C-alpha cells in the first residue's frame, strides 16, 4: 500500500517535504505527477515545482533515479526491498488549483504534491499530515473531507483513501481557520474560512444549509456524500472555486462575506453564494456524472470532450437558480444576475465565431489560455452554456405545457449515465427518450451554431420583459436601467489604469476603436489634445455626437501615434430584465 507523508517544512521558503513509501515496488518502478487537475482544463505541469528528489531502499541504500519526461521518473533497484521516495514541493500558488505555503496557512491539492507509483494507482493508500516544522501564525488545524484513520484533535495524523484518484480529490487546508458546521439531509457540512475576515458564521451556516438542502432534494436521491467541506481562502480581492468529490476549494474577497448584523444580500455576497451553489451542484454534475472520456481521468495529457458546456453551463444555470429557490435572494436580484449573464455573453463578438461544442473541445488551448483577442474569438461554455440551459428549460416547459422542464432531463441523464459516463452525443439521445417535445433543432442551434439564442420571446412567455441598450459605460455590468444610456457614443473598448493615461485591455471587433486602428496595449494619453485616463475616457467619448471626428494620441510601445476616431453610438449589448407577469414568472422560477 503506498504511504505518503507531507510536512509544511519551510513556510518561509514555501516548501513542503513529501515522502512516499512503497512496500512492493517493481524492479524498475515508475513515478509520475499529474499535468492537470480535474475541473481545470489546462496543462499546468505541476512537476516543475518538485525539487531535490531522492530514493532509498529500506536499509538506507541510495537508489538511482532517472527522469524520463517532464513528469515521470524511474527508480531502478535490485531485490525486493521497500522503496522510499523523498522530495520537496515549492508551494507559492495562491489559487484553488495547486499548493500554497507560508506562515499564515498551508493548502494543497494532492495532484500537485503526491507522485503516483505506476501500476499502484488502484491500491488503497495512506496519507499522514505532520504539523509544521517551523513557527507559524496561530494554532494550525487540518480541514479536509478525506477519511480519517488516526488523527489528533487538530487533525494532524493519518488519513485513508481507496486509491490514488481519491487521494488527489480531497484538498487540504491547514491554518488557524474559522469554523462553522451544519447538517442537512443527513450530511454533515463544514465551513472553513482561512484569512482575516469579520464574517457572520451563523448567517453563512443558515444560508448554505438552505442551498445544500435544495440541491440534495433536487436530485431526488440520497446525497452521494456523508460529509462535505466548504473551504474558503479569504483575500482582499479574489474569487474562484474548484469542485471535488466531497468538498470545494474557494477564494473570495472578504468584502463579499456577510458581516455581523447584515440582513440584506450585497452583490458580493450574492456572488459568493452563487459560487458555493455552483461548486456544490458539481458534487453530482461532473464529479460523478461526467464525460465518458474522463473515466478514468488521463492526467498526464489532455482529455478532449465537447461536453463541458453541459457540466459547466448547466451547473452555471442552476447555481443562481438554486440560491433563489432556496430562499436566499429575491426574484429581482436573480433577474439582475441573469441580465448580467446575458450582457457578458452578448458583449463578446466571439460568440458569433465559436460554437459551444468547439469552446468545450478547445478549452485546453483557448478558454484557459485567453489572450487579448479572446473576447473577439471565443465564447465561454460557462456563460453561453448557462444561457443554453435557460433556453432548453423554457423550451421544454412550453413544449410540454409545463409538465416537464430541464430538471427532468438532468435527472434522467444521471439515472442513465452516472455510472458509465456520458458519451459525446448522449445528451440529445436521452432527451429524445424522456422529453415529450422535439429538441433536435434546439441542440443543433445551441451546440453547433454561432447565432444568438432566441431567448426574448421565450422569456416573454414567462412574464419577463427584455430590454437592450447602450451601456453608460462598459464598466457597467447590466441588470439595472441606470446602466443604459440610449444614443450614447462609445469606443467599444475596455481600459485599465496606466500612469500615462488609459491602457486598452480589450478592443471589441467592429467597434469605433477597432475601426480607428486602436489596439490592445495602446496607452491613450489625449482626446482632441486633452489629457485622459481610464477613469474619464468613457465620459469624454459619451459627450460626443455620432459622426464627430476625435483626434486620439497614444503610445504603442514607446512610439507616439495619432489616430482618428469617428464617434458612433455604442452597441446595444446591455441587458435589463423586468417582470411583466408575476404569475407566469413564478411558473418558471418556482417561487
pLDDT in tens, 25-65: 999 999 999 999 999 999 999 999 999 999 999 889 999 99
Last residue of a domain, one of 175, 193, 225: 175
Helix (H, G, I), strand (E, B) or coil at 379: coil
* Residue 162: CATH number of its domain: 2.60.40.3650
219, β-bridge pairs: none
Judge whether 397 lies within some domain.
Answer: yes
Tell me: do 209 and 161 sit in the same domain.
no
**What's the whole-model pTM score?**
0.97
Torsion region of 496: left, alpha or beta (phi above 0 gives left; psi -120 to 50 gives alpha): beta
Is residue 78 over pLDDT 80?
Answer: no
Tell me: do 171 and 42 sit in the same domain.
yes
Q: What's the rounded mean pLDDT across residues 531-536?
A: 96
Phi, psi (rounded to 5 degrees) for 563: -130, 160
Q: What is the pLDDT of residues 148-184, one digit of tens each?
A: 999 999 999 999 999 999 999 999 999 999 999 999 9
Last residue of a domain, one of 429, 464, 499: 464
Mean pLDDT check: name the lowest of 69-83, 281-295, 318-332, 445-459: 69-83
Tell me: do 420 and 393 sit in the same domain.
yes
Q: Which three cell numbers mark 11? A: 513556510
Q: Give the pLDDT band (50/70/90) at residue 80.
A: confident
Q: What's residue 77's pLDDT?
A: 78
* Residue 257: CATH number of its domain: 3.30.2010.30
DSSP strands (E only) in 167-325? 172-175, 178-184, 187-194, 227-235, 239-243, 247-253
Q: What's residue 536's pLDDT?
A: 96
Tell me: do 359 and 347 sit in the same domain.
yes
Q: What's the rounded mean pLDDT across residues 490-503?
A: 98
How far is the C-alpha of 178 from the C-alpha of 160, rounded, in Å? Answer: 25
Judge whether 56 lies within some domain.
Answer: yes
Q: Give the pLDDT band (50/70/90) at residue 198.
A: very high
CB proximity list for 165: less than 8 A, separation 6 or greater: 121, 296, 297
Look-up of cell digits 487538530: 154
CB proximity list for 5: less than 8 A, separation 6 or greater: 18, 19, 21, 127, 128, 130
How far is the C-alpha of 163 from the C-alpha of 151, rounded, in Å? Answer: 20
Tell me: do 454 and 555 sit in the same domain.
no
Q: What's residue 420's pLDDT?
A: 98
Edge-to-edge order in the sheet of strand 125-129: 116-117, 28-32, 72-76, 62-69, 50-57, 83-90, 15-22, 3-10, 125-129, 157-161, 147-151
Residue 480 per-residue DSSP state: S
Tell me: do 138 and 157 sit in the same domain.
yes
Q: What total number of domains does the chain contain?
A: 4
Judge whether 126 lies within some domain.
Answer: yes
Judge whether 581 lies within some domain.
Answer: no
Tell me: do 460 and 535 sit in the same domain.
no
Is residue 79 over pLDDT 80?
Answer: no
Judge whether 270 lies within some domain.
Answer: no
* Residue 259, CA distances (Å) to 199, 205, 215 in order: 5, 13, 25
Helix (H, G, I), strand (E, B) or coil at 367: helix
Q: Give the pLDDT band (50/70/90) at residue 86.
A: very high
Tell me: do 438 and 320 sit in the same domain.
yes
What percent of the chain is predicted at pLDDT more than 90?
97
Is residue 11 over pLDDT 80?
Answer: yes
How far is the C-alpha of 375 from the C-alpha of 507, rounded, in Å? Answer: 8
Q: What is the pLDDT of residues 286-298, one digit of tens each?
A: 999 999 999 999 9
Q: How far apart are the first and last CA of the chain?
A: 52
* Residue 497: CATH number of its domain: 2.30.42.10
Is residue 101 over pLDDT 80?
Answer: yes
Judge whether 341 lies within some domain.
Answer: yes
Q: What's residue 319's pLDDT?
A: 99
Query: Could you tell me the residue range of the domain that residue 370 belongs to?
Result: 285-464
Q: What's residue 67's pLDDT?
A: 98
Q: What is the pLDDT of residues 309-345, one digit of tens each?
A: 999 999 999 999 999 999 999 999 999 999 999 999 9
Judge whether 239 lies within some domain.
Answer: yes
Judge whether 230 lies within some domain.
Answer: yes
| CB neighbourhood size of 576 (10 A) | 22
Q: What's the rounded mean pLDDT across residues 357-371?
A: 98
CB proximity list for 424: less than 8 A, separation 6 or greater: 291, 292, 293, 305, 306, 307
Tell me: do 209 and 222 sit in the same domain.
yes
Tell me: do 325 and 459 sit in the same domain.
yes
- Name the average pLDDT for the chain: 98
How far is the C-alpha of 259 from the C-alpha of 311, rounded, in Å? Answer: 33
Q: What's the rounded mean pLDDT across residues 72-83?
A: 88
* Residue 587, CA distances (Å) to 313, 321, 466, 584 in order: 22, 13, 18, 5
Alpha helices in 136-200 (DSSP H): 164-167
Closest CA to 156 of 172, 169, 170, 134: 172
Q: What's residue 76's pLDDT?
A: 87
Mean pLDDT check: name the lowest of 243-252, 259-268, 384-393, 555-564: 259-268
Is residue 256 over pLDDT 90?
Answer: yes
Tell me: do 14 and 65 sit in the same domain.
yes
What is the SS3 assignment for 551-576? EEEEEECCEEEEEEEECCECCCCEEE
Is residue 369 over pLDDT 80?
Answer: yes
* Residue 341: CATH number of its domain: 1.10.390.10
How far is the C-alpha of 306 from the C-alpha of 358, rounded, in Å? Answer: 7
Last residue of a domain, one of 124, 152, 175: 175
Tell me: do 112 and 204 sit in the same domain.
no
Look-up of cell digits 459516463: 421
Q: Give the pLDDT band (50/70/90) at residue 466.
A: very high
Amino acid at each position: 500500500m503506498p504511504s505518503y507523508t507531507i510536512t509544511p517544512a519551510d513556510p518561509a521558503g514555501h516548501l513542503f517535504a513529501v515522502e512516499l513509501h512503497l512496500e512492493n515496488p517493481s524492479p524498475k518502478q515508475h513515478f509520475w505527477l499529474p499535468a492537470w487537475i480535474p475541473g481545470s482544463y489546462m496543462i499546468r505541469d505541476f512537476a516543475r515545482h518538485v525539487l531535490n528528489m531522492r530514493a532509498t531502499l529500506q536499509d538506507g541504500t541510495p537508489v538511482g533515479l532517472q527522469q524520463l519526461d517532464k513528469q515521470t521518473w524511474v527508480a531502478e533497484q535490485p531485490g525486493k526491498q521497500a522503496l522510499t521516495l523523498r522530495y520537496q514541493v515549492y508551494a507559492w500558488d495562491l489559487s484553488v488549483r495547486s499548493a500554497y505555503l507560508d506562515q499564515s496557512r498551508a493548502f494543497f491539492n494532492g495532484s500537485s504534491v503526491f507522485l503516483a507509483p505506476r501500476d499502484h494507482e488502484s491500491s488503497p493508500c495512506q496519507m499522514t499530515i505532520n504539523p509544521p516544522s517551523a513557527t507559524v501564525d496561530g494554532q494550525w488545524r487540518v480541514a479536509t473531507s478525506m477519511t480519517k484513520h488516526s488523527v489528533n484533535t487538530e487533525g494532524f495524523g493519518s488519513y485513508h483513501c481507496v486509491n490514488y484518484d481519491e487521494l488527489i480529490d480531497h484538498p487540504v487546508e491547514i491554518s488557524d481557520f474559522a469554523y462553522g458546521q451544519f447538517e442537512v439531509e443527513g450530511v454533515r457540512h463544514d465551513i472553513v474560512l482561512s484569512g482575516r475576515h469579520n464574517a457572520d458564521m451563523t448567517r453563512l451556516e443558515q444560508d448554505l444549509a438552505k442551498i445544500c438542502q435544495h440541491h440534495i432534494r433536487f436530485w431526488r436521491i440520497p446525497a452521494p456524500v456523508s460529509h462535505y467541506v466548504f473551504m474558503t481562502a479569504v483575500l482582499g480581492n479574489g474569487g474562484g472555486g474548484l469542485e471535488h468529490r466531497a468538498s470545494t476549494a474557494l477564494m473570495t474577497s472578504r468584502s463579499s462575506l456577510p458581516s455581523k448584523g447584515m440582513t440584506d444580500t450585497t452583490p458580493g455576497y450574492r456572488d459568493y453564494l452563487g459560487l458555493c451553489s455552483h461548486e456544490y451542484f458539481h458534487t453530482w454534475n461532473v464529479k460523478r456524472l461526467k464525460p465518458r472520456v474522463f473515466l478514468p481521468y488521463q492526467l498526464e495529457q489532455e482529455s478532449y470532450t465537447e461536453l463541458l458546456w453541459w457540466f459547466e453551463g448547466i451547473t452555471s444555470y442552476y447555481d443562481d437558480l438554486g440560491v433563489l429557490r432556496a430562499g436566499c435572494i429575491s426574484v429581482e436580484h436573480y433577474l439582475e444576475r441573469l441580465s448580467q449573464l446575458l450582457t457578458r455573453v452578448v458583449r463578446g463578438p466571439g460568440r458569433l465565431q465559436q460554437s459551444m461544442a468547439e469552446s468545450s473541445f478547445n478549452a485546453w488551448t483557448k478558454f484557459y489560455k485567453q489572450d487579448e483577442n479572446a473576447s473577439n474569438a471565443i465564447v465561454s461554455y460557462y456563460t453561453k452554456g448557462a444561457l443554453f440551459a435557460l433556453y432548453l428549460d423554457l423550451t421544454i416547459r412550453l413544449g410540454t405545457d409545463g409538465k416537464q422542464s430541464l430538471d427532468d432531463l438532468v435527472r434522467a441523464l444521471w439515472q442513465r449515465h452516472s455510472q458509465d459516463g456520458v458519451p459525446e452525443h448522449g445528451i440529445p439521445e436521452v432527451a429524445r427518450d424522456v422529453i415529450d417535445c422535439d429538441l433536435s433543432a434546439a441542440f443543433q442551434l445551441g451546440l453547433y451554431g454561432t447565432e444568438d439564442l432566441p431567448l426574448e420571446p421565450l422569456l416573454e412567455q414567462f412574464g419577463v420583459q427584455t430590454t437592450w441598450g447602450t451601456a453608460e459605460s462598459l464598466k457597467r455590468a447590466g441588470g439595472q436601467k441606470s446602466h443604459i444610456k440610449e444614443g450614447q457614443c462609445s469606443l467599444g473598448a475596455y481600459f485599465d489604469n496606466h500612469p500615462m493615461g488609459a491602457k486598452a485591455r480589450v478592443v471589441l471587433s467592429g467597434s469605433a476603436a477597432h475601426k480607428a486602428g486602436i489596439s490592445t496595449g495602446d496607452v491613450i494619453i489625449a482626446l482632441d489634445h486633452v489629457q485622459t485616463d481610464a477613469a474619464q475616457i468613457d465620459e469624454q467619448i459619451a459627450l460626443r455626437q455620432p459622426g464627430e471626428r476625435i483626434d486620439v494620441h497614444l503610445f504603442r510601445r514607446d512610439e507616439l501615434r495619432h489616430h482618428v476616431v469617428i464617434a458612433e453610438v455604442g452597441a446595444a449589448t446591455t441587458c435589463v430584465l423586468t417582470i411583466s407577469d408575476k404569475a407566469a414568472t413564478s411558473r418558471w422560477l418556482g417561487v
